[in-house]
Amino acid sequence: MGNFQEAADLTKTVDISARRFEESPFIERTEGPGMVRGVYAGRYFAIYMGEDEDTIQKYWTLRRKALIFDVPEKPVEIAGPDAVPFLEKILTRKVATMTEGRGYYAIACTPQGGIFMDGVVFKLGENRYWYVQADGPFETWLLAHSGGFDVTITDPHSRVLQIQGPVSIEIMKAASGGTIDEHMKYFRSGFFDIGGQEFYVSRTGFTNELGFEIYCNGAATDHLALWDHLMACGAPHGMEFSSTQAMTIRRIEGGILGNLTDMDATMTPFEAGLEPFVNMGKGDFIGRSALEGRDRRSLLHGLTCQEATPTSGSEILDDGGEVVGHITAGIPSPTLECGIGYARFVRPSDWVGRSMKLRLLDGKVFTADIVEVPFFDREKNIVRGVDRTIP
């Protein structure tokens, strides 16, 4: 099941029990009359704030100033004497060499070599790790594979806030009393005092803009006090709250994949273009034997269309009219001023650089180009803080 946030999805809503999934502790500050919420990792989150929210205006605030997002990514704690060998078995990246305060993007595969989960693993301390998971039942997966390992797998009930945008460093500097600044490197993390409460903070995000994530401490956190403190620190810099609409646009522009939307258990990490995050030489891990000898060419590329916005399920046609792929997710790109999306092909080939046909769900056909991802800033200078140019 994909986590779609395209225009048509905002009206395809149903009523559901508020107790079925985990409520946000920030809902008193974020709820609005036009709010539409989705469910991700068993948690509610705002995907749309109604007609009063101008998605394009929010997008440019993200790119020029900063936005704060109440996101549903879920940290899971793995701790105990066997935490390292256990994570080596679960993840495709080498964990043993991680230093405290380091974060790694890491994938978990099925025994068949498909992508089961992606997320970021952090080393919080000796034999203590957090895996911040994407959508899917990962805690259950960890428990199912923990036999024979001296580990505990727990839910720290940590809700995550993201502050993203070029002025996020200045906001976090104010929020932390100067202890978080430009010296904190990309994918680094640690414990910091923010407004009189201690939080784990990482310099990461889901936008490929410069940004930070703040991890709450369950019932020990005064969530509303944290929210008010961050908003007060962000106000002089123009920071606003946003649903994830602007985030979705920016994550696709930035080449960030969505688990269960752009990739799933039917594709290998190689087919998703994630070969750099698979360490075949580190020893055994779930799915390793299935990945041996597999084709390492990617099936997932970018598509641009000057005349229309691609939508999930739209078909990609070759010169002879054969359907050779489909769109997993598409958005209008304000920066590129065209429609863009992820194109998942049925077989590997030299697709990049080709002009092809895009057939939307209504049957209309347009010319489209297959390109590399991310769609711009392939050197990641923006997210690393090297490029602070305001677009």
Query: Mean pLDDT in each 10-residue stretch from start to end of the chain (391 residues)?
Result: 69 75 96 92 94 95 98 98 98 98 98 98 98 96 98 98 98 98 97 98 98 97 98 98 97 97 97 98 97 97 98 96 97 98 98 98 98 97 92 87
Domain with CATH 2.40.30.110 in the chain: 297-378
Dihedral sign, CA of 264, 265, 268, 269?
positive
Q: How far apart are CA 218 and CA 160, in angstroms?
A: 10
Is residue 227 within 8 Å of 26, Cβ to Cβ? yes
Is residue 214 within 8 Å of 199, Cβ to Cβ? yes
| Helices vs strands, H then E, count in the chain | 8, 19
CATH topology of domain 297-378: Elongation Factor Tu (Ef-tu); domain 3 (2.40.30)
Helix, strand, coil shares, percent, the chain, to 5: 20, 30, 50
Backbone angles phi, psi at 347, to 5 degrees: -155, 155
Is residue 344 within 8 Å of 300, Cβ to Cβ? yes
Query: What is the structure's pLDDT at 9?
Result: 72
Retrieve residue 41's tokens: 């990792």
Query: What is the structure's pLDDT at 71?
Result: 98
Query: What is the structure's pLDDT at 2?
Result: 67
CATH 3.20.20.140: does it fit domain 7-72+157-252? Answer: no
List, in sequence order, every residue forming a beta bridge with 131; answer none if it has no partner: 76, 121
Q: Class of 75-145 per CATH?
A: alpha beta
Domain with CATH 3.30.1360.120 in the chain: 7-72+157-252
Domain with CATH 3.30.70.1400 in the chain: 75-145
Query: What is the structure's pLDDT at 3?
Result: 67
Q: How far apart are CA 39 and CA 298, in angstroms?
A: 29
Q: Which among 360, 356, 353, 354 is positioned nearest to 330, based on CA atoms?
A: 360
Query: What is the structure's pLDDT at 16?
Result: 72
Number of CB atoms found within 10 A of residue 346's CB:
12
Query: What is the structure's pLDDT at 293?
Result: 94
Query: What is the structure's pLDDT at 388?
Result: 86
Query: What is the structure's pLDDT at 10?
Result: 72
At 325, is the secondary structure helix, strand, or coil?
strand
Is residue 184 within 8 Å of 135, Cβ to Cβ? no
Compute the CA torsion angle 391, 257, 39, 13 (nearest 10 deg): 70
CA–CA distances in Å: residue 34 to residues 28, 50, 57, 87: 14, 4, 17, 42
Helices (H), the chain: 27-30, 55-64, 83-90, 138-144, 168-175, 223-234, 245-253, 288-291
CA–CA distances in Å: residue 230 to residues 150, 195, 213, 238, 314: 39, 8, 12, 12, 40
Is residue 241 within 8 Å of 24, Cβ to Cβ? no
